[in-house]
Amino acid sequence: MPFALSTERERETADIFSRYPNKLAACIPLLHLCQEQNGWISDEVIQFVAERCEVSTAHVQGVVTFYTLFNQKPVGKHQIWVCRTLSCALRGSDQIARHLQKKLGVHIGETTKDGLFTLREAECLAACGQGPMMLIDKTYHENLTPEKVDKILDELTGEAK
Ligand code: FES
């Protein structure tokens, strides 16, 4: 079934196209908008974006595979990006990543069985002075310890007491 945006997002699309000098330049913001609705970039989404931006599906596929923020398969309700770059690594991101994997019962790149969390690694997320850190959806969590991670996850799963 072909992909279609909601009426509200169609209005946003018109706004996006009005801000760029040509349709090709709107490819990335349009992909973000589609992902916001669909959760990931399916073949149908690639077809949709290619048609709207008047480019080939190969071009859109190239964009999607280049940027890690585009999901190439279905993901959990919340996406956890744990930074593994140098500043965070020196401040214990390995321990945080191990803790997250143990607590969630998944490896990096996997989604929990309940579909709540997808755990991923990120390159520097520009919060180097507050490492170790992770990004959950659009929220930064900094100066992490295993205890802080537990509290954050418990709040997200509604288990906080
Ligand atoms: S190294 Fe982790 S945010 Fe920059």
What is residue 158's predicted lDDT score, i.e. its pLDDT? 86
Whole-number pLDDT of residue 159: 64
CATH class label, 7-66? mainly alpha
Distance 93 CA to ligand 1 centre (A): 9
Domain 78-157 class, CATH top level: alpha beta
pLDDT at 82 over 60: yes
Q: Give the Å distance between the CA of 96 and the centre of ligand 1.
A: 13
pLDDT cut 90: percent of the chain above it:
95
b/e map 54-78, b = 16+ CB within 10 Å? ebeeeebbebbeeeeebbeeebbeb
Which residue out of 124, 141, 144 has the highest number of ligand 1 atoms within 8 Å of its CB and is therefore the one to mutate? 124
If DSSP codes are grouped into helix, strand and coil, which group holds residue 57?
helix
Where are the domains positioned within the chain? 7-66, 78-157
Average the pLDDT over 101-115 and give the result: 97
pLDDT at 160 over 80: no
71 lines ligand 1 (CB under 6 A): no
Output the pTM of the full model: 0.84
> How high does pLDDT run on average in the chain?
96
CA of 2 to the centre of ligand 1 (A): 39
Write the single-letter amino acid at 132: P
